[in-house]
């Protein structure tokens, strides 16, 4: 698509869905990369994931949840002990305050259980729409769009929306897709942003949606050079081979 073209709403929706289908084929296994066994664990892990990687969070949560497995126990935990456990995630004092207050909220207002409604989740200490949608989509099966830094960068780069406010991005992108696709759409775009469509040097030359992307060329377009930029931020045991034969990279139309 030429950047000088004016795209109709219908054409935008069709292009966006075509790009999503192609990326879904590339990442059919896309999923939340935080380890969790129940809604409480996912909620706490998501709060801890701010300004750090999911891999780092997954290294500290086994001890955290072994010592304080539910809201009641974490609400009563010694602050310094929690800080010591979550120190690797960064901003550990602020995060400790958040998870302790959040746990107290759950105990006092929801009988220690994580609520399954967005309007309730966002009333909890330190929980915004992004965290709420992560929990709803992955722990309760309620479709939601997670607008993290990767998602926001890609939808603007793809020309799906020019909005920068996360709530406006959520609504604008949500209007392009069926509600049932929202959670998987979030996973797929986050996977793509972490592995290929990087903030500084996207691997344009090996991107399967380059032919529909108005930002093609922001990164190296030579397939050999672009292939060196691929990243796989996955915990041990989750690594997957790159799905293309490097000798047969997809060609970009136009």
Q: How much is the average pLDDT of 122-131?
A: 95
**Which one from 70, 78, 105, 130 is the annotated catalytic residue?**
130
Other beta carbons less than 10 A from residue 233's beta carbon = 12
Give residue 205's domain range.
9-30+146-246
Residues, the chain, total?
Answer: 254
| Same domain, residue pair 133 and 162 | no
In a domain, residue 200? The reply is yes
Reply yes or no on whether 130 is catalytic. yes
Evaluate if residue 230 carries a pLDDT over 90.
no
| Same domain, residue pair 165 and 222 | yes
Confidence label for 227 from pLDDT (cuts 50, 70 and 90): confident
| Same domain, residue pair 92 and 178 | no
Residue 27 and residue 189 in contact, taking contact as beta carbons nearer than 8 Å? no
The domain boundary, picked from 106, 139, 172, lies at 139
In a domain, residue 2? The reply is no
Q: Which residues contact 212 (CB under 8 A, 6 or more apart)?
A: 1, 15, 18, 19, 158
pLDDT of residue 185: 98
Longest distance between any two alpha carbons in the chain, whole Å? 61
Domain of residue 87, CATH code = 1.10.340.30
| Same domain, residue pair 57 and 122 | yes
| Same domain, residue pair 82 and 47 | yes
| Same domain, residue pair 196 and 217 | yes
Reply yes or no on whether 231 is catalytic. no
In a domain, residue 1? The reply is no
Domain of residue 178, CATH code = 1.10.1670.10
What's the DSSP call for residue 20? H
pLDDT digits (tens, 9 = 90+) for 163-210: 999 999 999 999 999 999 999 999 999 999 999 999 999 999 999 999
Confidence label for 82 from pLDDT (cuts 50, 70 and 90): very high
Report how many domains make up the chain.
Answer: 2
pLDDT of residue 245: 38
**Which one from 54, 95, 148, 181 is the annotated catalytic residue?**
148
Evaluate if residue 236 carries a pLDDT over 50.
no
How is residue 130 written in tokens? Answer: 């992004």
Decide: residue 2, CB within 10 A, 0-12 exposed, 13-18 middle, 19+ buried.
exposed
The domain boundary, picked from 105, 139, 173, lies at 139
The domain boundary, picked from 81, 109, 139, lies at 139
């Amino acid at each position: 698509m030429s950047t000088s073209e004016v795209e109709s709403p219908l054409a935008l929706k069709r292009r966006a869905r075509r790009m999503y289908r192609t990326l879904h084929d590339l990442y059919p296994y896309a999923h939340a990369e935080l380890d969790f066994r129940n809604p409480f664990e996912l909620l706490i892990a998501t709060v801890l994931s701010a300004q750090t990687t999911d891999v780092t969070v997954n290294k500290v949560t086994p001890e955290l949840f072994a010592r304080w497995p539910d809201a009641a126990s974490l609400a009563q935990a010694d602050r310094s002990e929690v800080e010591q456990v979550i120190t690797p995630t960064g901003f550990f004092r602020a995060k400790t305050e958040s998870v302790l207050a959040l746990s107290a909220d759950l105990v006092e207002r929801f009988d220690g259980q994580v609520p399954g409604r967005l309007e309730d989740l966002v009333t909890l200490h330190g929980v915004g729409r992004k965290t709420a949608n992560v929990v709803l989509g992955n722990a309760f099966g309620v479709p939601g769009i997670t607008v993290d830094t990767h998602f926001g960068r890609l939808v603007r780069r793809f020309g799906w929306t020019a909005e920068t406010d996360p709530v406006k991005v959520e609504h604008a992108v949500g209007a392009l897709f069926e509600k049932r696709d929202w959670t998987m759409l979030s996973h797929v775009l986050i996977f793509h942003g972490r592995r290929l469509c990087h903030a500084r040097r996207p691997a344009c030359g090996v991107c399967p949606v380059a032919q529909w992307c108005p930002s093609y060329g922001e990164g190296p377009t030579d397939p050999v050079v672009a292939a060196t930029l691929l990243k796989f931020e996955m915990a041990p045991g989750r690594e997957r081979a790159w799905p293309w034969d490097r000798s047969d990279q997809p060609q970009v139309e136009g």
